[in-house]
Amino acid sequence: MNVLLDIVLFSLLAGSSVFIGGVLSCFFDKFLKKGLLKKEILHTLVAFGAGIMLGAVCFVLIPEGIKSLSTISSILVFFLGTISFYFLDEYIKKKKTTASQLMAMLLDFIPESISLGAMFVLNHNIAILLAFFIFLQNLPESFNSYLELKEAKLSSKKALVILFLLSFIGVIFSLIGYIFLKDEVEITASIMIFSSAGILYLIFQDISPALRIKENSYPVLGVNLGFLLALVCHLSI
């Protein structure tokens, strides 16, 4: 029972940043005028999220995933994840709809949430660390998603309602991961490596090329700051 309670609480915490990021973005959009400063802040936040995502891959998903899989299996699953996310990303780009913007944010959130639920059985401390990574990672992603929903002509209220509802998705998939995968160590490990491949693809295909600004490049430092925070979290357990 305590494990179930922990899964619900920490997955709620991880998912809450989807709505929190949207609310912050709403205030940001209303009170900061368009210009270089606004662009720099947005790019730095996205870069910070990229650093957190990279840290989650390096310190949690890959190290924990390869523990339960053979080298060949790890390579094959990683390759499959790379190819799958490539085709999903291409599909999303072709659609260019409001739903597509949300799908892009959920591509890494859903498999990470499934892994989170299963991880509470395997390693409680690592599961808490993963929940913290997901929380930090969702903030800049939902921040950007709110702005994209606004660009798609949705009202602020509708955009925030969508993000609020999506914040509970993590609980659902974490419970699915726990119920169905708590004894399936190899499947859990495969999901972690699969999602790692997808996250790396998204970082270097969609996020990194958009981070540089002609006038300066310091927003890119957000990647290093995010990764540094991930390193601090990893070393603290």
Under 8 Å between Cβ of 118 and 184 = yes
How far apart, in whole angstroms, are the C-alpha atoms of residue 39 and residue 16? 25
pLDDT of the residue at 200: 83
Q: Rounded CA gap, 91 and 210, in Å?
A: 19
Q: Give the tens place of pLDDT for each residue, 176-199.
A: 999 888 888 899 999 998 988 888
Q: What is the pLDDT of residue 219?
A: 59
Cross-strand bridge partners of residue 213: 216
Provide CB contacts within 8 A for 38, sequence distance 6+.
Answer: 28, 32
Burial class (CB in 10 A: 0-12, 13-18, 19+), 183: exposed
Residue of 210 and 193 predicted with greater confidence: 193
**Digit-coded pLDDT (tens) for 39-48:** 777 777 777 8
Mean pLDDT (the chain) is 82
Report helix, strand or coil for 154. coil
Listed ranges 36-40, 50-54, 63-67, 232-236; the one with the highest mean pLDDT: 63-67
Nearest 5°: the CA angle 176, 76, 64 is: 50
Instruction: Give pLDDT, residue 10.
Output: 95
Q: What is the band of 135 on the pLDDT scale with cuts at 50, 70, 90?
A: very high
Task: Note the pLDDT of residue 76.
Answer: 92
Q: Specify the higher pLDDT residue, 153 or 215.
A: 153
User: From CA 30, how far away is CA 207, in angstroms rounded?
Assistant: 24
For residue 45, what pLDDT is reported? 78
pLDDT digits (tens, 9 = 90+) for 83-128: 998 888 787 777 666 555 567 678 788 888 998 998 888 888 889 9
How would you class 145 by CB atoms within 10 Å of its CB: exposed for 0-12, middle for 13-18, buried for 19 or more? buried
* Residue found under tokens 């599961």: 127
pTM: 0.81
Q: How confident is the model at residue 161 (pLDDT cuts 50, 70, 90)?
A: very high
| Nearest of 136, 130, 104 to residue 117 by alpha carbon | 130
Predicted confidence (pLDDT) per residue in 16-32, tens digit: 999 999 999 898 888 77
